[in-house]
Amino acid sequence: MENNNIQLNRKDDPEKGLKRSLETNKLSMIAMGCAIGTGLFLGSGLAIQAAGPSVLLSYALGAFIVLLLMGCLAEMTVAHPTSGSFGAIAETYVNPMAGYLVRYSYWISNVLAVGVEVSAVSVYMKYWFPAVPGIVWILLFAGVLIYVNATSVNTFATFEYWFSFLKISAIVGFILLGAYVLLGTSEQPHIGPENFVNEGGFFPFGWWGMWVAVFISLFSFLGTEMIAITSGEAKDPDVAVPKALKATVFRLSTFYVLTIGIMLMIVPWKTAGIEESPFVKVMEILNIPGASGIMNFIILTAALSAMNAQLYASTRMMFSLARRENAPSILGKLNKRNVPANALAVSTMGIFIAAGVHALLPGSSYAFMMGISMFGAIFTWFMIFISHLYFRVQWEKSGGRRLPVRMIGFPYLTILGAGLLFCLMITTWFTDFKIMLQFGVPWLLFLSVAYFVSKKRNSIQHPGQESPNKKIN
């Protein structure tokens, strides 16, 4: 690969037109907003049911995988700050088909993840309005967030910043309250570290249960890669992206392990589930007047925040696909506010899928939507590790500039991350989440056929013309 194929050159970037106006603090908050959603506030109940108290190890291992992923992603994103991000990198350093599969898989993952969040919204609203059909809340909140995403990137970022600020404040408050209760101020029995070993011990479902819960924990961490996508609209990506990635991983790891640890010491793990957030259950057990309602409001905000960020991610990925001629060109157009409004419109389909699933499976829509949305995300993460193996070798051979951020332990830690993700994907076939592979394998086959059909059509329409997809600018 020639040197000029991997040097940064924004002049001829097919994704140009997006404004570079996002600052470091907003980048971090966007990633936190996407990652701290129903995965922590509602999905943690599902993880606890799968692993019992050993879920703490599940989240710790999940955080370790994310740490490895962020190391690889930070190195590559500093070299190529573009909204196509890891899709464009896979395209350049692995092959064009890999970039095609990654972009579309990540797009469908976020489209469906929007459906996961909006399904959770209907669960939270039942706390106040049990008689109102969930589909009413799905459509109402969807309309508000579509409007926010259709205005400008700064409007989106401002909403996300304050959404995330509220969530982080609530988590810190929850940790402080939990610590206050656990230090002996509460007269309630059965509260304390003994809950880690009651009801079957620390590993009530053995190591297998702990391992299965790692998969669920990864859903909680999805969204940290969002920073790489926002790099295309970041003011100073060389500085902002690595700083935001490191801060996000540290905060997420701390918040998840601490909050779930406190939760388990207050709420017996067998009572956790997804009919109600474990956070709300904690407040009910502690009998704090009005606290459960306030916590439910904060959790609702968390779901809306994650949904907001996922709409952004899916929109930018579809925009990237269109600008690189892998999707209809109309989806690559910007409106007067420099927002890819057409790509946004297509990316809202997850909301309507969620509404349909909620109508058909009102009791299990959340778990179902989570299962099918996970494949694209886990596949994307796996391909980030694979792309990094190719990237580092080719970058050094090409004589590219010295990277200010480098992944430690290369290639061993990169291979370890890829191996752990691959094993987790295979594991799902033997669990209630086999829907992930049942959806994901046909999805990849469909995309592969679509790629070759598209490639053949382009070669007929533009014989001898070099594809714009062959390099990142």
pLDDT in tens, 160-196: 778 778 877 878 888 887 787 777 655 666 777 888 8
Per-residue pLDDT at 363: 61
User: pLDDT tens digits for 329-378?
Assistant: 898 888 887 788 899 888 888 777 766 776 676 666 666 777 777 888 89
More confident residue, 120 or 420: 420
Residue 466 has pLDDT above 60, yes or no: no
The residues near 412 (Cβ < 8 Å, ≥ 6 apart) are: none
Sign of the CA dihedral with 409 first, then 412, 415, and 421 last: negative
Among 99-108, 244-253, 258-267, 318-327, whose mean pLDDT is lowest? 244-253
Sign of the CA dihedral with 325 first, then 454, 85, and 142 last: positive
Measured CA to CA, the distance from residue 109 to residue 40 in angstroms comes to 18
Which of 93, 322, 53, 333 lies closest to 205 in space, CA to CA? Answer: 53
* CA within 13 Å, CB half, 217: 30
Per-residue pLDDT at 7: 42
Per-residue pLDDT at 260: 86
Which of 350, 351, 330, 349 lies closest to 341 in space, CA to CA? Answer: 330
Residue carrying the six token digits 């060109």: 329
Measured CA to CA, the distance from residue 289 to residue 147 in angstroms comes to 35
Residue 413 has pLDDT above 80, yes or no: yes
Per-residue pLDDT at 468: 46
pLDDT band at 460 (very low <50, low <70, confident <90, very high): low
User: pLDDT tens digits for 374-411?
Assistant: 888 899 999 999 999 999 999 888 876 777 778 889 99
Both tokens assigned to 400: 């590219």
- State the distance between the two ends of the chain, measured CA to CA, in whole angstroms: 14
Highest mean pLDDT, choosing among 18-27, 229-238, 316-325: 316-325
Q: Angle at the Cα of 320 (from 318 to 321), degrees rounded to 5?
A: 65
The residues near 461 (Cβ < 8 Å, ≥ 6 apart) are: none
More confident residue, 66 or 228: 66
Residue 119 has pLDDT above 60, yes or no: yes
Measured CA to CA, the distance from residue 70 to residue 278 in angstroms comes to 29
Which of 413, 377, 412 lies closest to 225 in space, CA to CA? Answer: 377
Per-residue pLDDT at 264: 85
Looking at residue 85, the DSSP 8-state letter turns out to be: H
User: pLDDT tens digits for 272-296?
Assistant: 655 556 667 677 777 777 777 887 7
Across-strand partners of 234? 22
Residue 442 has pLDDT above 90, yes or no: yes
| CB-neighbour burial class of residue 399 (10 A; exposed 0-12, middle 13-18, buried 19+) | exposed
Looking at residue 56, the DSSP 8-state letter turns out to be: H
Length in residues, the chain? 473
Phi, psi of 37 (to 5 degrees): -130, -135
Measured CA to CA, the distance from residue 32 to residue 417 in angstroms comes to 21
Looking at residue 401, the DSSP 8-state letter turns out to be: P
Residue 65 has pLDDT above 90, yes or no: yes
User: pLDDT tens digits for 329-340?
Assistant: 898 888 887 788
User: pLDDT tens digits for 135-167?
Assistant: 788 888 888 888 888 876 677 777 777 877 887
Measured CA to CA, the distance from residue 220 to residue 201 in angstroms comes to 25
Phi, psi of 234 (to 5 degrees): -90, 145
Across-strand partners of 16? 18
Predicted TM-score (pTM) of the model is 0.81
| CB-neighbour burial class of residue 412 (10 A; exposed 0-12, middle 13-18, buried 19+) | exposed
Query: How does the average pLDDT of the chain come out, rounded?
Result: 78
Residue 125 has pLDDT above 80, yes or no: yes
In the chain, what are the domains? 24-399+411-450 (1.20.1740.10)
Across-strand partners of 240? none
Percentage, residues of the chain above pLDDT 70: 77
Per-residue pLDDT at 95: 92
Residue 411, helix vs strand vs coil? coil
Q: Are 43 and 370 in contact (CB under 8 A)?
A: yes
Both tokens assigned to 119: 């399904």
Residue carrying the six token digits 């778990």: 367
Residue carrying the six token digits 């899916």: 314
pLDDT band at 254 (very low <50, low <70, confident <90, very high): confident
Measured CA to CA, the distance from residue 72 to residue 382 in angstroms comes to 11
Across-strand partners of 22? 234
Both tokens assigned to 315: 């929109």
Which helix or strand (DSSP H or E) is residue 95 part of? none
Per-residue pLDDT at 388: 95
Q: How many CB atoms lie within 10 A of CB 267?
A: 22
